[in-house]
Chain A
Amino acid sequence: MILSGKAFRFGDNVSTDVHLSVKYRSPDTTLQVLMRDAFKDIDPAFSASVRQGDVVVAGENFGLVSSRADAAVVLRELGISCVLARSFGHMFYRNAINMGLPVIECDTDSISAGDKVEVDPETGAIQTGGGEIRFAPYPPSLLKIIAAGGLIPFIQKEGGYPS
């Protein structure tokens, strides 16, 4: 599985409130509206310009604070193929994998907005215009969760973790 697309670049401490703004949200706000408003406050053009396969690249603590699983679903449904950051909020990291969105901790400093990025979660390599970035590859069971589209579909499909 090679994930490739254009980089959308964000800084440190992008909380889930930023890419899933509660300001525009009522209890019955649809996923479509949440998708339209993703990152509205820091990149108003985001949802209109994102293409299938594109990659979100951030600094420290991406997805801090909230435990809302929607925050990962919105990015996945917008076509984001993976999120690269120096570090993640605990619940966002878990939710993302559980919703089938690969999240990868790595040194993102050399990636700029608009760079073409190719990520291989199996080997732990990211190719960018500026060279290769390494990260700890996903173990096979986690790759299967991602490939199945999330934790619950993975159990439905595989019956559980390999023993």
Chain B
Amino acid sequence: MGQTIAEKILSAHSGTEARAGDLVVAEIDYLMAGDAKGPKALDIFREANLPFRLDPKKTDIIIDHFVPAFDVRWANDHVKLREFASERGVNLFDAGSGVCHTIVTEEGRVGPGDLAVGGDSHVCTYGALNTMAVAVESGETASVFATGKLWFKVPQTIRAEFEGILPEGNLPEGVFAKDLALYLAEEIGLNGANYRAIEYGGPALAALSVESRFTIANMAVDSGAKTGIMEADTKTTEWARAAGREGTPVSPDPDAVYERVIHLDVSSLEPAIAAPPTTDNVFAVGEFTGLPVHQVYVGTCTNGRLEDIEIVARILRSRKIAPGVRFYIAPASRRIQEAAERSGAIRVLNEAGAILLPPSCGPCASMTGNGLVGDGERVLTTANRNFPGRLGSKKAEIYLGSPATAAASAIAGQIADPREILAETAGAAR
């Protein structure tokens, strides 16, 4: 009986033949500790007086949520994280480096076949690199510092096949990885992947860039999944080699056992919107066009990459953000910001009236405290969650869409279908 990618990665790291349902103890290749849950992990680690036995090269401390720190509490947490990093010889990505998950994937901290854990829900993003990454609680982080290992229940796997790519290898006009991620979230349902791994493959996935694949893997956890893992191909291995961690790609066996196989035909998709209150509440954008928006945000570990900023710049070029709309944009890393400066995208954004934020989580969750919205406001964001209160007021409405949909809506001052404006810009010099 064949194995899924998750079963194979957990087998290789536990020295057992891991099957869904088994409990195993596995070696950890990488641990990400951030400023949201990291400080509590350090407290537990210190109070329990545990030894630090993890190879310091296998972990990073990353400050990204509370940037710039707006409360003494966060500032003190940052002090604690910096001290820990220097005491233990652990690498620190300080404020302004970017969003943790983007940094980890850009800096070659994880690669194909790796088993990673981290103190943040969206570590599953690394799955685009064929890494199995699982979110852990603060006590588990402390335990990994002390042992370099962690116990796992081997998950069952839901297989998602992306099919129906257009002849030239493109998605339909106006449709991007975010739209695919939202339609898949709808198909799986809010907790439909509880305690499961999602394994992604298929020709339409192969046609996507690695950057786009991060967007899809990122949202695995928003269907309740423990992890999301993609098959590796030459794009994956090239990315991993360039980033500096080649790893060992892991493929599923042809007779791997899946709990469920989902076929998503991308050829007939339209730009998508996830309406409040949940990420699986997904509709074609046409259902909402015309609804006024007050704030638009492009960024986050879901959609703050260069590709995303470039499509926004293409749409904003020679246009202006509508009056009454605050358009925030936060590149997901300093590298991305620099690349967007070089390409001229940043200048286009500024001229259009966008508000550029430092590489960080930005207005993604209200815990980060910036870019909050008030009662009765409506937000369109490229982030991954839209439950009421995620951005401040519980009386605000949060809609999710692709960067193109976000940019088109920012210009229109209302939720807009990006296809018209993209057609206008087609052929125009970038």
A interface residues with partner B (beta carbon < 8 Å): 61, 64-65, 67, 69, 87-91, 93-95, 97-98, 105, 136, 138-139, 141-142, 145, 150-152, 155-156, 160-161
Please tell me if the beta carbons of B151 and A141 are within 8 angstroms of each other in the complex.
yes
Whether B151 lies near A156 (C-beta < 8 A) is no
A151 touches B139 (CB 8 A): yes
Report Cα–Cα, A104/B19, bound state, in Å.
17
Contacts of B143 in A (CB 8 A): 151-152, 155
- Report Cα–Cα, A98/B139, bound state, in Å: 8
- Does B224 lie within 8 Å of A90, measured CB to CB? yes
Do the beta carbons of A145 and B151 come within 8 Å of each other? yes
The answer on a CB contact under 8 Å between A160 and B151 is: no
Q: Which residue on chain B has the smallest CB distance to residue A64?
A: B191
Q: How many residues of B contact A (CB 8 A)?
A: 26
Between-chain CB contacts (< 8 Å), 16 pairs: A64-B191, A87-B195, A88-B195, A89-B195, A98-B137, A98-B139, A150-B139, A151-B139, A151-B140, A152-B48, A152-B50, A152-B142, A155-B48, A160-B146, A161-B25, A161-B151
B137 touches A69 (CB 8 A): yes
User: Which residue in chain B gives the minimum CB-CB distance to A151?
Assistant: B143
- A105-B153 Cα distance, complex, nearest whole Å: 11
Q: Which residues of A contact B137 (CB under 8 A)?
A: 67, 69, 91, 94-95, 98
Distance between A160 CB and nearest chain B CB, rounded to angstroms = 4
- B140 and A90: CB pair below 8 A? no
Instruction: Evaluate whether A142 and B191 lie within 8 angstroms (CB atoms) in the complex, with A151-B139, A152-B44, A152-B142 already known.
Output: no
Structural contact, B25 and A89, CB atoms closer than 8 A: no
Contact, CB under 8 Å: B25 / A141: yes
Q: How far is the CA of A90 from the CA of B194 in the complex (A)?
A: 6
| Closest chain B CB from A99 CB (angstroms) | 8
| Bound Cα distance A90, B48 (Å) | 25
B140 touching A98, Cβ below 8 Å: yes
A139 touches B147 (CB 8 A): no
Q: Is the CB of B50 within 8 A of A156?
A: yes
Q: Who on chain A is nearest to B24 by CB?
A: A139
Which of chain B's residues has its CB closest to A91's CB?
Answer: B137
Q: How far is the CB of B134 from chain A (nearest CB, A)?
A: 9
**Would you call B139 and A142 a contact (CB within 8 A)?**
no
Q: Which one, A65, A97, A150, contacts B191 given CB within 8 A?
A: A65
**Whole-angstrom distance between the alpha carbons of A156 and B139 in the complex?**
13
Q: Are B48 and A105 in contact (CB under 8 A)?
A: no
Chain A residues, Cβ within 8 Å of B21? 105, 136
List chain B residues, Cβ under 8 A from A150. 139
